[in-house]
Amino acid sequence: MRPHRFRPAGALKGRIRVPGDKSISHRSIMLGALAVGETRVTGLLEGEDVLATAAAMRAMGAQVERTGDGAWSVHGVGVGALLQPQGPLDMGNSGTSTRLLMGLVASHPITATFVGDASLSKRPMGRVIDPLSTMGASFEATVSPKGSQTLPLILKGAYPAVPIRYRLPMASAQVKSAILLAGLNTPGITTVVEPIPTRDHSERMLRGFGADLSVETDADGARVISIRGEAELKPQTIEVPGDPSSAAFFIVAALVVPGSEVLIENVGLNPTRAGIVEVLRQMGGSIEELNPREVGGEPVADLLVRHSALKGIAIDPSIVPSMVDEFPALFVAAALADGVTTTTGLEELRVKESDRISVMAAALCAAGATVIEQEDGLVITGTGGEPLAGTAGAIATHLDHRIAMSMAVAGLVSRTGVEVDDVRPIATSFPTFQSMLEGLGA
């Protein structure tokens, strides 16, 4: 455990560039490993989660090498040519790595054992196991005390796998992506029906690598995504935009710390990911987009964020899929806003790295916020801009990087500071978070 107390230190001023988008970083390594030839990636997020993906692809035959700061070279083996890994694939804390790689392996004639840390080993995998089993893969999973299927698990791929048409029972980009990745090496056409749109990085990048993928809208308004199997992927040059999930902490910090003005460069603003910006603007946040452009098929801009008087709002649950990972940071903004902020439709947050509804409620209450926990969200009555009291002891982060970073931001707008029990998990997604915060004056 490495506890740390985050204290108020005045206005945040300056210019920063957050690490590369985690979702795009994962997918660039995976798809590069399935393309024949060399894929070059710049701006890759070098956090522990993405490094777990890189190690897994190496274990299955790809050459994945770091060539510089954020620069990586991937020599792929081709679709259908993944090798049998010689040992377990250690996914660390990365749910994205686990679920997407389960999809990749499911349609290859290999057997892989997936393991992870204590936090990841509690997370449900049945949502991916169900459709991949229908495609022909077989699983031996651990059964949790609550009856869900978890890591460690053994996956035996099907060859040939069976194409399916699968309607997502919940909004999940990871489940969608796992099925599409399995479909890459499956004869025929594999289709995912998505009633509620989720982040579309997989679709964009699969097309970029040359997969035959189509997206249509059915009579009910659902997205119908189809991929033709036995694909031949072509190597790419990828520039990874800044991660909006990482930028969210600095956006919120600049909005709530009086006198702050921060320019966050090169932030990915894919509309399936940028819900946090829209909601904070609805709350009165000053977030200006400068130099809007497109990088590698993804919309990008520099964000100029200024301290703002935020107001509480009722957040439309339809926006949840586009900002599901950013709610811990949003809860901090709500705690400093004027009035009541109501969130609903957040059941998915209970099965993240931690139960983010319950853990954030406890952490914010410990810091002096007024929070009511409900089954599917939080009701937060803000201070109207007045600082939070701060914590007497350390708040429990439950090995969750987003809890630690969110409460770090809360500490900047408190009287006595906020102590988190362990800052080590921050390295899974944002190794330079603390130094970047200090560089802005915090």
Task: Say how far apart CA 272 and CA 275 lie, in whole Å.
Answer: 7
Task: Say how far apart CA 282 and CA 287 lie, in whole Å.
Answer: 11
For this structure, is 400 an active site residue?
Answer: no
- Retrieve residue 154's tokens: 């053994």
Set 325, 400, 421, 422: catalytic member: 325
> How far from 5 is each of 40, 252, 357, 361, 411, CA to CA, in Å?
39, 19, 22, 19, 8
Which residues participate in catalysis according to the annotation? 325
